[in-house]
Amino acid sequence: MCAVVFAIVASMALGLVEGITLGLAAAMVTAIARSRGTLSDRVRQVLGAGYLQALAGFAVGALVWDQFDDWKAFAVGWLIVAFVVGAWMTGGPIASRDRWALIVGFAAAVAGLAMASLTVSWVSTPVAFWFTAVALVSASVVRAALRWPDLPWFERPTQTNQRAVGALTTLMMCTLITGATIV
């Protein structure tokens, strides 16, 4: 989530193409720095990095969506759907497997709702979309609360510092998105 949120913040500040380029560059550098082993192992690890794949998917979707409409509507949907799917799924690569993932996902969904409240044209968009988004986030919060006792704080105890820094960074960027759309 951190890579996508960073790309959204950068895109809000610099423009879509520049923000996505900066986000992809930062994610690529991070993936290369985290990779270990031989060159072929490193290439496999970089290409298999989930955050890099998520950012590439977001980039393609946002660039295509921007040709037809404003990319911020796509970002709103991405942030909300990422939390909803992560909260409801219990297994697989996109499920939230620890408490920090749920907290960060919720913050991203709130940032998405804040973006929607001010960037979506509510004159031409049916209000049912707003109510649906709020209902999805609310139901997902209930689902996350039910899953909370069964989840550890960190999925991998060996990466607690790295995970905590990434989660706190994402929370700060979500606060920036929310603040930028409100102000």
pLDDT, tens digit, for every residue of 79-134? 899 899 988 988 777 778 888 888 888 988 988 888 888 877 778 878 888 899 89
Using CA atoms, how far residue 50 sits from 54, 92, 124, in Å, is: 6, 12, 36
8 A C-beta contact, residue 16 and residue 66: yes
pLDDT band for 139, please (50, 70, 90 cuts): very high
Which tens digit of pLDDT belongs to each residue from 162-179?
Answer: 777 777 888 888 888 777
Among 181, 171, 138, 170, which Cα is nearest to 27's? Answer: 170
Cα–Cα distance, 58 to 60 (Å, whole number): 6
Predicted confidence (pLDDT) at residue 138 exceeds the cutoff of 90: yes
| Residue extents of the structural domains in the chain | 2-182
147 pLDDT more than 70: yes
- Asked if the model's pLDDT at residue 181 lies above 80, the reply is no
Contact of 168 with 106, CB cutoff 8 Å:
no
Short-list 89, 54, 44, CA closest to 170: 54
Closest C-alpha among 9, 53, 7 to residue 31: 53
User: What pLDDT, on a 0 to 100 scale, did the predictor assign at position 73?
Assistant: 84
pTM: 0.81
